[in-house]
Amino acid sequence: MNSAVRVGRVGVPAAGAKGVPWLDRDHSILSFNARVLDWAERSAVPLLERLRYLCIVSSNLDEFFEVRAAPHLAAARAGRSDGTASPASFESIAAAAQDLVHRQYHLYNEVLMPALTRAGLAIVSHSERKSVQKAWVDDYFAREVRPLLTPVGLDPSHPFPQVANKSLNFIVRLGGRDAFGRDNDIAIVKIPRVLPRVIRMPSRVSRGKTRFVLLSSVIRSHLHDLFPGREVLEFSQFRVTRHSELAVDEDDVRNLRTALRLGLQHRQFGEAVRLEVSSACSDYLADFLLAQFSLPRGAMYRVPGPVNLVRLQQLIDLAQAPGLLFPPFTASYPRQLGAGLSIFERLRQGDVLIHQPFERFDGVVDFLREAVLDPQVLAIRQTIYRIGADSVMMDLLREAVNRGKEVTAVVELKARFDEEANINWAEKLEAIGAQVVYGVVGLKTHAKMLLVTRREGKAMVRYAHLSTGNYNPRTARLYTDISHLTADPQLTHDVEAVFDHLASQARVPRLQSLIMAPFHLHRRLLDLIEQVGHAAARGETARIVVKTNALTDQQLMDALVRAGRLGAQIDLIVRGACMLPARVPGVTDNIRVRSVVGRFLEHSRIFYFGIGAEETLLLSSADWMNRNMLRRVELAWPVTDPALRQRIVDECLVAYLHDERDAWDLMADGQYQRIASALDTTRPGVQAALMVRYDAGSSAPGARG
């Protein structure tokens, strides 16, 4: 098990305040994935959960290559730097990624698969199958697989086929001659995505044991059936990853939704950036594939196993082995929401915070449901960023329209990899009469807000929900986030003003409580950091604690370095990419950076600034990245209730700074180091402690099913 993960400064790093060398962003992303992989390497983690972490790393690497690899590949092809990438950065990132992939497959082959076999779960290869199992596989192939395969022999009239992004394929080298006497020797077999990648054998052929076969193994053992009269000389699985950022010029399209739909059709066939092949793939086949995809050899990854570990998550579901999973956790219903009490009545008494996933997202859904069913509610407005293809909240909005309420949805069509789902929801809402808008041209609407307007007597009263996360009930069970429900007049007035701005694109409103990007948030954060730095210079107690998913904005990093040099004590809890080096003598002595990786994905954004007894605490939808500050619609807002503010400080900041199990600290040499007590399994991590605090089985008041 690796206890240190290097970030590195390779690439074309920029220099910060007084020449501070920033860490490399892409290496920092890969370093985060190494910390996730550490969970797969932990023997104390249940076996199928270790496999799940392995699959998560593979999924993350897919996205890394889809989004981050193209500039480095272009620089390598051109043989020169473009200011942000270079041939050296391509080689360095490829080496780091290759090392991570090597760790993955070593763990898969040498640790996890043998352990699963000992636990009674096994993937049976062709050579290991008994005769009855081979007969079953033969029947399965003939019945379920062969009818869907169309092997393509390559010749001038059958060129290399279009291969979709991340799809499973086989390349085959054939001996002999084809039906027309030609010696064309290369064929491609594309594997349809509708076929399951993991198949559980029926009990009658596995002797009552839990046995699986991989689709790739089934096809591999029947390749000769696909080419009658030809000899299969050699073959390999392969998988190509393509650049998947949608490039749409919003100033040059009349209908953004239509343009994005067209872009989605081409995303599966974008520029190739990575080629994965079986470790035994011959140089002949490998060179052929590299030439077809115009890739340098450094973009090829030989893997001793399935070329798509992500799809092994199917095994976790098929295994039906709860003893090899984390013990089930039943989150409590939000404790501030009493059973049987109207949420509107509760909010008139004061604000409510929901700490997800330790408290259930059901409280937010119930807030919307109550608004939909209440005849006194006249209007509902909501932002849609990542909400999923199957959403109870979207169904509720549609019901609200059917009940005659004014429904406005601000749909962000450009939410990466969620574009299609969001387009579909926008069309469904528009079809029944909802007002759908797409935010501001050139900016992503990343803010999470929901506004309800209710008639109460002669007055119109507003209620709002603001969140650090997404309106996705599925990810709300997996991500740590803070939901804030409020009837505060200033805050709800500001929410309404932001909705009006997004719909009308009129002048930016004057806001009383909300802080909005790209107009005010960046400057406000820089001012707050500067104030803390000046207080430290005056000898006052000065403190900054930031919890965010990424820290890459250079102006904010410069400001933090200056404040730290003036004596401010700064703690940064950064889950993923962090370009700010910590604890560098004479440079960032007063800045500490830690990353917490646990059972749930850390996702909440919380910013604390303390000067003496004065405290400012902000919740936000924004990470500390340039794109969030200047190219997105984001919100930050204060928590003014002293009890709620203290709760956030205790649960989301102090607890994370004292985690003794799942935390990694960034060292001055650019490495993340697990804290000394991390291997002591008797010490609970912060997430485990919060799970105990919020377990629905506890005697907490206000819990309801």
- Residue 268 burial class via C-beta count within 10 angstroms: exposed 0-12, middle 13-18, buried 19 and up: middle
Q: Residue 212: what pLDDT?
A: 97
Res. 594: pLDDT tops 80: yes
Question: Roughly what angle, to the nearest 10 degrees, separates helices 362-373 and 392-402?
Answer: 10
Domain boundaries, the chain: 1-12+24-117, 120-325, 343-510, 517-694
Res. 326: pLDDT tops 50: yes
- HSE-CB at 625 with a 13 A cutoff on CA atoms is 19
Res. 58: pLDDT tops 70: yes
Phi first, then psi: what are they for 410, rounded to 5°? Answer: -95, 105
Taking the domain 343-510, which CATH number applies? 3.30.870.10
Q: Which of 71, 65, 72, 77 is nearest to 90 (CA)?
A: 72
465 is catalytic: no
Percent of the chain with pLDDT over 70: 89
Catalytic choice (72, 446, 522, 603):
446
CATH architecture assignment, domain 517-694: 2-Layer Sandwich (3.30)
Identify the three-state secondary structure at position 171: strand
Q: Residue 253: what pLDDT?
A: 43
What fold is seen in the domain 1-12+24-117?
Answer: Methane Monooxygenase Hydroxylase; Chain G, domain 1 (1.20.58)
Give residue-wise pLDDT tens across range 280-291. 999 999 999 999
Let me know if the fold of 343-510 is the same as that of 517-694: yes
Percent of the chain with pLDDT over 90: 74
Determine the average pLDDT of the residues in 519-540: 97
Q: Residue 582: what pLDDT?
A: 96
Give residue-wise pLDDT tens across range 21-41. 899 999 999 999 999 999 999
Whether residue 60 contacts residue 36, with contact meaning beta carbons closer than 8 Å, is answered with: yes
CB burial readout 43-81, b (16+ within 10 A) else e:
eebbbbbbbbbbbbbbbbbbebbbebbbbbbebbeeeee
Alpha carbon distance 336, 596 (integer Å): 27
Confidence band, pLDDT 50/70/90 cuts, at residue 259: low
What fold is seen in the domain 120-325?
Answer: polyphosphate kinase like (3.30.1840)
Output the pTM of the full model: 0.91
Whether residue 54 contacts residue 37, with contact meaning beta carbons closer than 8 Å, is answered with: yes
Confidence band, pLDDT 50/70/90 cuts, at residue 419: low
The H-assigned helical ranges of 14-130 are 25-41, 47-68, 70-78, 87-107, 113-118
User: What residues form DSSP beta bridges with 190?
Assistant: 169
Give residue-wise pLDDT tens across range 487-512. 999 999 999 999 999 888 888 889 99
Q: What is the 3-state secondary structure (H, E, C) of 283-352?
A: HHHHHHHHHHHCCCHHHEEEECCCCCHHHHHHHHHHHCCHHHCCCCCCEECCCCCCCCCCHHHHHHHCCE
Alpha carbon distance 580, 557 (integer Å): 6
Alpha carbon distance 299, 90 (integer Å): 9
